[in-house]
Every structure is written in C-alpha cells, then in structure tokens.
C-alpha cells in the first residue's frame, strides 16, 4: 500500500464526523477531488445517503492532493480497501475535466458508472469511456430503478423529476469549510438564460418549503457540538426563493449563515445583514447593458450599481463573473471605481463554454454567431487593464475551457475522441488549429 495515500486517508478518517457509521460496503463511490474541497459538495453526500436509504453500503474514495497516482492505488475511507477490489464504481462529479482525469488514471477492471453535470451534457462521450452514465437527479433514478441501476449499463435516464433536498451528512474539521455544514435550499433556476445548462439539466426550479427548512436546520444543530458554527446555504439564487427573509431570520438563531450565489435582478439588500461571509458573488456575464439584453440575462447598470453600493456599504467584497470579453468599457468601470476601497471588487473572466450537447442548439448557434470564440491574448490584456484600474481580476484556466468545449464537440462527433485525452499543451494546440473550423461547420449546417 502506498504510504502517502494511506496517510492521507487516515487523516480524512480522523477529521470526519457523520450520522453514519464507517462500515464495509458493496459499492465504491469515487469523488475525483481532494477531500478538503470535496466536502464542500453535497452531490456525493446525496448519492451516499440515497444509496444508504436503499440498504446499499458504500465505501468512499477521494483523489489525493498529488498527481502521480493510479486508480488502483486509491484506498477507501471506510476500510482502506483498494478501489480495484470493487466490482462496481460510481463516479460523482460536475466537470468534464474530472472525467478526463479518471480516464487517464484508470487501471482497474471494475464497471464504472458516471453521474453529474459533466456527463449529463455530453452523455455519448462518457458512455463510451465508462460502462454507463446516469442522467437525472439521484433521488429520481434510485426511486425509479432501485438497485437494478447497477445492472443497467449504457445511458440510464430518469423519466421522473422527483425532487428531494439534501444537507450535510458528513462534517470534517479538515476542509476548506471546516466550520460549516451545508443545506441545499433550492434546485435548478427559475430563469432560463439561453447560454446556461443549469435549468436544462437540473429540471424545474424547486425549493425547500419553510416548514421543512426549519426541521432540517434543527436536525443540523447536532453538528454544532463538534465545531460547525456556520450553515452554508446552497442555491443558484438566494433571493429567488419566496419569503427568503423568513428562512434567514429563523436559521440565524442557530447558525452563522452564508449563501453561495445571488442574481442582480432579484437582489434584496436586506439579506446582507444575515450573511457572515466576506464575498458576495454575482453572474453579471457582460458589462454592457445592451449585450445583457441580447444574451437573455437583463438587468440595468443602475440596478447593478445599487447592488454594489449595498454590498460595499456592508464592507462585503463583490465578485463579478463575466462570460464575454468586451472592448474596454471605461465608463462602466469609472462608475464602479468609487466602491473599490481595499480590494473591494473582483472580476473573474470565464469565457462562455458552449455546450453542444445541450438541446438549445439554435440559441447556441445564435450566440456563437454573435460572440466569437475567446481571444486569450485579448482576455489577458483585459485582465491586466482591470488590475491597473485597482480591481482584482482572474481568468478561467484555458485548458479547462478547451476541455469542456472539446468534450461536447467529441460527443457530437465533430472531433476525434483522442483529441480530448492528449496531455498538457497539445490539447490547446490541436484545438487551436481545428476548433474554429469545426464551429464554423456547425454554424453552416442546418
């Protein structure tokens, strides 16, 4: 057994607390992140809980924080058994690049079933790499197929849109959220921005009813005895949940509160007084008001300034996500400058990832025609410009962007599968030479 991996797993065991006893299981659950980050995702905890409800015991495997390992070297948190001992491995993840990492490291014979957003938008690609993919919410899949799901390889899709909400069943003192437990307040999104896969893959918008919310918060108090002071509320847009102030008023009695995401359009400044977080995040997408209208996510500059003013008034850092590079909008940034203060406003530039696997192909064609592929040199100049104005700014990793776009092109048969799995810079080089022509071809096809 590799000593470094064993030490890592023992450290997880020592730091972790749960309602569930650590017991040997029949099925492996692979989470392709190091544990301190993985604990901040509710999706694998949901899988674990849902399978436990069906009497299926699961052993969990996390990626170590170093890169020189194979899947066969991983050990379970429950029993330290190797991953290769299991006949069936479930993978829970969101991003395409995580599945690429698994394929690159795979040296085991187990059947592997993959689930999560990353496979949902490009199911054909991953069904041919793994033994099957699971599409749909875990609660709906399990209730529809029961444990028969293990025998249904290929693409297994739920036809139900049953919604169940999940909350932390594991808590760890060794995590980036070491003093927080999580609760999913809503699923999907009531808005339907044409470039976004959330409403398309996550189904209808739903949120926890107030009475249920109260019950869950009271249940989560158990974690307070072992150091959880915060309740992290997971939602695409906190202020889209009706009566949200009642929810926050109730929960603040028991926990310090944080929330994951906000929309400018529905933002209410009153929520800020409940939140114990330094940074408040908004998907602004583009700094040009007219373009926001064009891409189907409209709010005025005046509303955005009102939101920034409210946040900065409470000394919060405002983090603004942009999907489209712009010609420098000096006027827009001049308006924001009075609110910068000490590192008060941050930009994150994540060029839009067009998912060719999604159904809204006509919308995608329109967006592609109007907004060209990222010009990385220009984006880098843009980032430096923002920093020169006194803002903080970062840019999405270029390789991650390519991986996501290329995965969807491979899924649709426009690119060879090999392209996705070459290492390092070659991925970008090959794609740089071909992606533009492939996209143009798609645009020209009816």
Contact residues: ligand SF4, CB under 6 A: 189, 191-193, 196, 198-199, 236, 263, 283, 297
Q: How far is the CB of 192 from ligand SF4 (least distance, A)?
A: 6
Q: How far apart are CA 37 and CA 318, in angstroms?
A: 22
Q: How far is the CB of 200 from ligand SF4 (least distance, A)?
A: 9
Select 158 or 286, whichever has its Cβ closest to ligand SF4. Answer: 286
Counting DSSP H helices and E strands in the chain, the numbers are 18, 17
Is beta strand 27-31 parallel, antiparallel or unpaired with respect to 58-62? parallel
Structure tokens at 186: 């809503």
Q: How far is the CB of 336 from ligand SF4 (least distance, A)?
A: 21
Select 205 or 223, whichever has its Cβ closest to ligand SF4. Answer: 205
3-class DSSP state of 126: helix
Select 60 or 292, whichever has its Cβ closest to ligand SF4. Answer: 292
3-class DSSP state of 54: coil
Q: How far is the CB of 296 from ligand SF4 (least distance, A)?
A: 8
Q: How far is the CB of 146 from ligand SF4 (least distance, A)?
A: 32
Given a contact cutoff of 8 angstroms between Cβ atoms, the answer to whether 361 and 333 are in contact is no
Given a contact cutoff of 8 angstroms between Cβ atoms, the answer to whether 319 and 346 are in contact is yes
Q: How far is CA 378 from the centre of its chain?
A: 27
Select 95 or 150, whichever has its Cβ closest to ligand SF4. Answer: 95
Q: How far is the CB of 204 from ligand SF4 (least distance, A)?
A: 12
Q: How far is the CB of 324 from ligand SF4 (least distance, A)?
A: 13
Given a contact cutoff of 8 angstroms between Cβ atoms, the answer to whether 139 and 151 are in contact is no
* 244, HSE (Cβ side, Cα atoms, 13 Å): 25
Radius of gyration of the chain (CA): 22
Structure tokens at 396: 């999405």
Q: How far is the CB of 414 from ligand SF4 (least distance, A)?
A: 25
Is beta strand 206-207 parallel, antiparallel or unpaired with respect to 186-187? antiparallel
Select 32 or 283, whichever has its Cβ closest to ligand SF4. Answer: 283
**Residues contacting residue 305 through CB under 8 Å, at least 6 positions apart:** 335, 336
Q: How far is the CB of 364 from ligand SF4 (least distance, A)?
A: 14
Total number of residues shown for the chain: 446
Q: How far apart are CA 80 and CA 164, in angstroms?
A: 31
Select 80 or 198, whichever has its Cβ closest to ligand SF4. Answer: 198
Residue 285, beta-bridge partner list:
322
Q: How far is the CB of 185 from ligand SF4 (least distance, A)?
A: 14
Select 18 or 281, whichever has its Cβ closest to ligand SF4. Answer: 281
Select 79 or 281, whichever has its Cβ closest to ligand SF4. Answer: 281
Select 124 or 281, whichever has its Cβ closest to ligand SF4. Answer: 281
Select 26 or 363, whichever has its Cβ closest to ligand SF4. Answer: 363
3-class DSSP state of 156: strand
Which of these, 21, 14, 49, lies nearest to 168 by C-alpha position? 49
Q: State the burial class of residue 209 (Cβ atoms within 10 Å of its Cβ: 0-12, 13-18, 19+).
A: exposed
Given a contact cutoff of 8 angstroms between Cβ atoms, the answer to whether 324 and 295 are in contact is yes
Is beta strand 16-18 parallel, antiparallel or unpaired with respect to 170-172? antiparallel
């Amino acid at each position: 057994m590799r000593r470094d991996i064993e030490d890592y797993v023992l450290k997880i065991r020592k730091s972790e607390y749960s309602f569930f006893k650590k017991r040997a299981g029949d099925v492996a659950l692979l989470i392709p992140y190091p544990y301190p980050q993985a604990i901040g995702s509710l999706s694998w905890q949901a899988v674990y809980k849902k399978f436990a409800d069906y009497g299926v015991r699961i052993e969990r495997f996390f990626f170590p924080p170093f890169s020189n390992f194979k899947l066969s070297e991983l050990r379970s948190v429950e029993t330290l058994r190797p991953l290769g001992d299991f006949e069936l491995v479930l993978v829970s993840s969101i991003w395409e690049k995580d599945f690429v990492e698994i394929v690159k490291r795979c040296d085991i014979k187990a059947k592997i079933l993959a689930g999560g957003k990353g496979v949902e938008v490009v199911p054909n690609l991953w069904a041919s790499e793994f033994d099957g993919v699971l599409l749909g919410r875990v609660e709906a899949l399990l209730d529809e197929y029961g444990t028969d799901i293990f025998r249904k390889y290929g693409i297994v899709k739920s036809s139900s849109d049953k919604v169940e909400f999940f909350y932390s069943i594991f808590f760890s003192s060794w995590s980036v959220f070491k003093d927080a437990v999580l609760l999913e307040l809503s699923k999907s999104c009531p808005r339907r921005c044409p470039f976004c896969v959330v409403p398309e893959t996550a189904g209808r918008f739903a949120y926890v009813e107030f009475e249920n919310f109260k019950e869950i918060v009271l249940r989560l108090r158990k974690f307070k005895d072992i150091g959880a002071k915060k309740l992290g509320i997971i939602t695409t847009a906190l202020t889209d949940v009706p009566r949200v102030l009642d929810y926050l008023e109730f929960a603040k009695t028991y926990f310090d509160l944080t929330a994951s995401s906000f929309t400018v359009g529905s933002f209410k400044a009153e929520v800020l007084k409940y939140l114990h977080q330094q940074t408040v995040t908004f998907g602004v997408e583009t700094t040009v008001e007219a373009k926001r209208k064009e891409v189907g996510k409209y709010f005025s500059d005046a509303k955005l300034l009102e939101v920034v003013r409210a946040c900065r008034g409470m000394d919060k850092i405002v983090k603004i996500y942009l999907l489209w590079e712009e010609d420098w909008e000096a006027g827009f940034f001049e308006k924001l400058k009075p609110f910068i203060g000490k590192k008060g406003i941050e930009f994150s530039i994540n060029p839009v990832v067009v998912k060719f696997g999604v159904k809204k192909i006509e919308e995608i064609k329109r967006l592609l025609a109007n907004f060209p592929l990222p010009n990385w040199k220009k984006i880098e100049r843009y980032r430096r410009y923002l920093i020169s104005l006194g803002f903080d700014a970062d840019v999405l990793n270029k390789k991650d962007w390519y991986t996501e776009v290329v995965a969807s092109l491979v899924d649709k048969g426009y690119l060879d599968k090999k392209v996705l799995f070459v290492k390092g810079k070659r991925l970008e080089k090959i794609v740089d030479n071909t992606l533009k022509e492939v996209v143009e071809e798609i645009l020209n096809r009816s």
